[in-house]
Amino acid sequence: MAGSETTVEAVAPPDTVKILIAGGFGVGKTTMVGSVSEIAPLRTEEPLTVAGLGIDDLNGIEEKQATTVALDFGRITISRELVLYLFGTPGQQRFWFMWNDLAIGALGAVVLVDVRRPESSFAAIDFFERRGIPFVVGVNGFHGEHPYPAEDIRDALALPADVRVLLCDARERESCRDVLIALVDQLIVAAKTA
């Protein structure tokens, strides 16, 4: 913490919004968050017993084989008044109960797809479709390779026409930024036609 302690100016808190970076296990979610975030991705860990599995006192905790679910996130300052947070959702399916909470109040989501195994992101697509949460699909070409055009991937994933599909590289800042822009553009189009 820099600066003198006595003259901390009152700073108006910014408005905050969030976008989820979702997809199957190991598809590059954390990598994407790190690529566009202005800070090194941060991580919080939640012991599952605390996260709402119904433990109300200390009894029996010692015997519990406790599990931790981690969440990583990054930040993009849009302006002095507005900050965007990006949350990488936990990839393993048994942690998906957390997605419900995460999805509340989100602008939308990026579903990342590993071009080599698109089926691993089926469940994520299904999750957002069922809840009516807007999303775009980012096809992460591992090793920067994109053997299939975006339209083939759209067909393979049976995506509706209004969901944009972008070929991307989760390691590249500009590429990830463009996926986020595509999501927001899609939201704007939907807002205008609503």
Ligand X SMILES: Nc1nc2c(ncn2[C@@H]2O[C@H](COP(=O)(O)OP(=O)(O)OP(=O)(O)O)[C@@H](O)[C@H]2O)c(=O)[nH]1
Closest Cα partner for 25 from 98, 96, 76? Answer: 96
Q: Which does 79 bind (CB under 5 to 8 A by kind): another protein, ligand X, Mg ion, none?
A: another protein
**Least CB distance from residue 32 to ligand X, whole Å?**
7
Residues written for the chain: 194
| Given 20, 22, 84, 111, the residue binding another protein (CB under 8 A) | 84
**Least CB distance from residue 42 to ligand X, whole Å?**
14
Query: Taking contact as CB under 6 A, which single stretch among the options 19-27, 50-58, 123-131, 149-157 is the one that binds ligand X?
Result: 19-27
Nearer to another protein, 126 or 185 (CB): 185
Q: Strands (DSSP E) along 59-174, which ranges?
A: 68-79, 82-88, 106-114, 135-140, 165-168
Nearer to ligand X, 75 or 171 (CB): 171
Please report where in the chains the tokens 């989501």 appear, as a residue.
109
Distance CA 129, CA 146 (A): 25
- Strand, helix or coil at 187? helix
Per CB under 8 A, 171 contacts another protein:
no
Per CB under 8 A, 117 contacts another protein:
no
Contact between 125 and 159 under an 8 Å Cβ cutoff? The reply is yes
Contact between 97 and 58 under an 8 Å Cβ cutoff? The reply is no
Nearer to another protein, 28 or 141 (CB): 28
* Contact set with ligand X (CB under 6 A): 25-31, 88, 91, 140, 142-143, 169-171
